[in-house]
Structure 1
Amino acid sequence: MTSTRIQDEAAARLRPGLSGIALLPDDPGYEDARTIFNSMIDRRPAVIAQCATAGDVARAIEVGRSLGLEIAVRGGGHGVAGKGITDGGLVIDLRRMSTVTVDPAARTARVSGGALMSDLDRATEPHGLATTGGRVSTTGVAGLTLGGGSGWLERLWGLVCDNLLDVELVTADGEIVHAGEEENPDLFWALHGGGGNFGVATALTLRLHPLSKVTVALLLWPPAAARDVLTDYRAFIDSAPDQVGGAAIYLTAPPEPFVPEDLVGRQALAILAVYAGTGPEADDALAPMTGLEYTGGLVAEMPYADFQCMLDDPPGFRNYWSAEHIGALPDEALDRFAARAADMVVPSASQHILLPLGGAVADGGTDYPVPWRSAPWVVHPLGLWENAEDDERAIAWARGTIRDMRPWSIGAVYLNFIGNEGRDRVIAGVGADNHRRLSEVKARYDPENVFHLNQNIEPA
């Protein structure tokens, strides 16, 4: 437990000249500021520095290091492992830095380090522009991007990091540096999948693409029909154009007008298919799924920014996630995936997800440390539940799902999809050769491993 003296000294040194605010445990707003997405994580930092500028971030790093405080960096606070919060340490909270500036002529967006996907999507929407984003609007853009960045339209535009043009970063020494293709290229490479290991990203520039509306099909079936539907979905994705993204998702059917009353509150299989665009081409592309006899659902055109909010994970739940990237999806894999749905906590906000990759993800043609991009499919058990008595069951379901998929695993994994699964999984997330190179970059920018609350890469 950090002493009151250290807390007071940290605040006294932070507050003068800080554009943002510094919160101590007894201050109004502290409890809200320490709350993160995963309610299983309950930590009490000594001080929360709600930074408003890169200079504030540099100041917070200097104070935290001089007082020997563990430093956590919070962007969206959406990571399942809760690495954006620390017990007794200092949290650099970036949420006051949420500005997004769009250059429609250059088709770029300058995104501040605390911006969420909703901030980015709403800023680009008036210009008819967008980029690959996370699958929910509450995800932090910086953490998403630095981890590689997977989203609904990645088959068309590539991963979020494939659209990264430059980064402003505050290092462990408090230096504000820039990384791009020409400036600090080693650091720029590391920021394409290496996560928050190298400093605090206070601004990112992302490439944008023309898009206003998408065509969305959200179709529901009872579990008894799910296995046949999954077979149809596999065939659909195998021949779908890159403009198509989506997922097969076991979930608890919500009380919505498009859901039959006898399915509400029960498990259902949802097929979510999204096409980047509207009109006859979109209708034709989605026809193999919309032409099936589904139990409930909707087919609609909508703004991309609205679609990004469609499946937002509700806050306040207990969370456990994992993932396995697989190189093939034979009938046996589909059988195992379908069978594991029976172990979900229902009703709950949990989702048992099968995601297609391929397209521009696989065709990226880069040496970025994202070896999982070669997988055509990802199985992603996403556990969200209310009651602590369901912890053991929910965690066992997620872990069992991953074990079931191991025979087809490519060995690599998207680190933003998992929690604390050990050093071997971190290496699997970036690749063994890349891990050695990332360790060398880490040694140059953070030799003392100040930024270790992440999917950590230790300095060489």
Structure 2
Amino acid sequence: MGSTGPTPRNDGSSLSTSDRQALADSLQGNLIVKGETSREEYDEVIKRWNEVYIKQANLVALVESDADVSQCVKFAAKHNLDVAIRGGGHSYHGASSTEGMVIDLRKLNRVTVDKSAKRVTGGGGCIAMDLEKAAEAEGLGVLFGAVNETGIGGLTTGGGIGWLTGEHGLAIDNLLSTRMVLASGEVVNASTNENTDLFWAIRGGGSNFGVVTEFEFRAFEQGPVFFQMLSYPMEKLKECVELLRRLRPEVVEPGQGKMQPMFAMIAPPSLPHTPAFMIFYDGPEEEAKKIAKPLYDLEPINTMGGMMPYTAVTGIFKMMEMKGFDRWASSSLHLTYPIDTEVLLAGIDKFLERVKHHGDAFKHSSFIVDLRDYRKVASVPTDTTAYANRYDAAVVVPDFRWDDAKLDQTARRETTGIAAFMKEMLKDKDKRTRVQHDGEREFESFYPNVSSGTEKIESVYGSNLPRLRDLKAKYDPDMMWNKWFSLTVYMSG
């Protein structure tokens, strides 16, 4: 017999009233059924950060316990439902959305801090701010992403890059243990001492292996930090980009993991795009400005920020939000050092040209060059966790945002097109973005948490892919979890 595929999944629209009621009766939490609750309540539970991926789910289970999650998983398996896991709802490419059943973890948001052991534990429905604020109250820090409204689940299982990565690595490098519900409905613990293969897989394998209902992280002593944005006139764009070649040896490396700069083409309200640098330094202002002197020597026309609590940095982007423009598309690629400024300038020119071409539709989009210190990330062998993109390289991110649903396909095409343009230019110059090797094949690398979702899974998992497929066959042979760079299981009969 040949290979067989997974059982086809459905959206649950044909479920009987009695079946839905049976599920509702088995839960401590609430079951929201499309068409059977108020529109206001329904719209709130299906809302997502990226409005491109708001889907009309037929069932949304607002779970309140591991037992609730287990009941939902067993119900989904019995009725072959398409399932999505909603933690923070912050996915770029809709991994938390479905027209079938959403297992919504927002009520699993309990946080505990063990100050003496320097450990912070949070439910699978927590957003980063929940744990960061609780830790900060005890003089501690915990590593998540640049924006503290992101759910801890998707960010962590996808790797987890943050402002403190230079000192502490990825979020998964600080993950100590988890509790999760498997596709069978079984509740298990996973750590370096228990279900070790599963623990390896979820650290970079995304939501492919089950519902994580609790995370335990290593914390560390954390005080105020320095954060400042420096803006420059457009006529200094080329000087800013040329400076990028010097930042690595002159600013990042002397910062010893504490200095994390980023460059961006941003569009403040009612203004055209302008070049800017963001400086994050885990230490006092005097040290930060001394190390980052080349950025100040370029004479910014505006500076904003200073010393502040760490959570003020991860919360600063919330303060910069605007009404509308809640549809997002992004792509990413790695660039090796020293940065090829010709390619980078060409990429920026392409970005500005495409934004201008569409008038005001994409005026709040940005082009980001992440220059943070990834030496600690790269020092960990690739097979230590499932996360494969452990490179000490710059990350380039064309990030489009808009508010007209008719432009969804256009925006996605523009972001991936800019990345492809830069990759092709590097190829023509006989240079490379970072690549992964799997036998004789090479795959371009990127950061999977900031992506279009259409990239090849070989580029996500690299040489870890064969082992991940084996573990997928062990823990989820019927591919219930299929929303985040889904791992295909080939089964022979």
TM-score where L is the length of structure 1: 0.92
Query: Which residue pairs with 2:366 in the alignment?
Result: 351
Question: In the alignment, which of 325, 333, 349 is matched to residue 339 of structure 1?
Answer: 349
CA distance in 1, matches of 2:12, 2:344: 54
Give the whole-Å Cα distance in 2 for the aligned partners of 1:81 and 1:219.
31
Matched letter for residue 76 of structure 2: G
Q: Is this contact kept in 1: 2:230–2:276, CA < 8 A?
A: yes
Q: Who is 2:43 aligned against?
A: 31
Are 1:45 and 2:57 matched, yes or no?
yes
Pairwise CA RMSD? 2.0
Corresponding residue for 2:379? 363
Unaligned runs of at least 5 residues, structure 1: 255-263
Task: Note if contact 2:241-2:341 (Cα within 8 Å) is conserved in structure 1.
Answer: no
Residue in 1 that maps onto 2:75: 63
1:243 pairs with 2:258: yes
Q: 2:393 aligns with which of 376, 396, 404?
A: 376
Question: Map of 1:59-458 to 2, 5 A cutoff?
Answer: 59-87=71-99, 89-239=100-250, 240=252, 241=255, 242-254=257-269, 264-312=270-318, 317-328=326-337, 329-342=339-352, 343-344=354-355, 348-357=363-372, 358-365=374-381, 367=383, 368-391=385-408, 393-406=410-423, 407=426, 408-410=432-434, 411-422=444-455, 425-431=456-462, 433-458=463-488
Partner-residue secondary structure (3-state), 1:86: coil
Helix, strand or coil: the match of 1:27?
A: coil
Cα distance in 2 for partners of 1:450, 1:390 equals 31
Quick check: 344-353 or 109-118, which moved more?
344-353
Distance 1:316 1:223, change over 3 A: closer
The answer to whether the 8 Å contact 1:109/1:207 transfers is yes
| More deviation, 350-359/175-184 | 350-359
Query: How far apart are residue 393 of structure 1 and its match?
Result: 4.8
Kept in 1, the 8 Å contact 2:95–2:484? The answer is yes
1:269 and 1:124 map into 2 onto residues whose CA distance is 34
Q: Is the 8 A contact 1:233 1:289 kept in 2?
A: no
Which letter does structure 2 place at the counterpart of 1:60?
A: C
- Asked if the contact 1:54/1:170 (under 8 Å) is kept, the reply is yes
Please give the TM-score of this superposition, normalised by the length of structure 2: 0.86
% identical equivalent positions = 28
Q: Counterpart of 1:134 in 2: which secondary structure?
A: coil
Aligned length: 447
> What residue in structure 2 maps to residue 257 of structure 1?
none
Residues 364-410 of structure 1, C-alpha deviations (whole Å, 9 max, x = no match): 34522323221411111111111245445533431222113322311
Shift of 1:300: 0.5
What letter matches 2:378 in structure 1?
Answer: A
AA partner of residue 482 (structure 2): H
Contact 2:377 2:391 survives alignment (8 Å): yes
Take 2:156 and 2:11, find their aligned partners in 1: how far apart are those partners?
Answer: 33
CA distance in 2, matches of 1:131, 1:153: 9
Cα displacement (A) at 1:7: 5.9
Aligned to 2:5: none
Give the secondary-structure state (helix, strand or coil) at the position aligned to 1:273: strand
Give the letter aligned to residue 36 of structure 1: R
Amino acid at match of 1:308: T
Task: From the superposition, tell whether residues 204 and 2 of structure 1 become closer, same or farther in structure 2 (CA, over 3 Å).
Answer: closer
> Runs of 5+ in structure 2 lacking a partner?
1-9, 427-431, 435-443
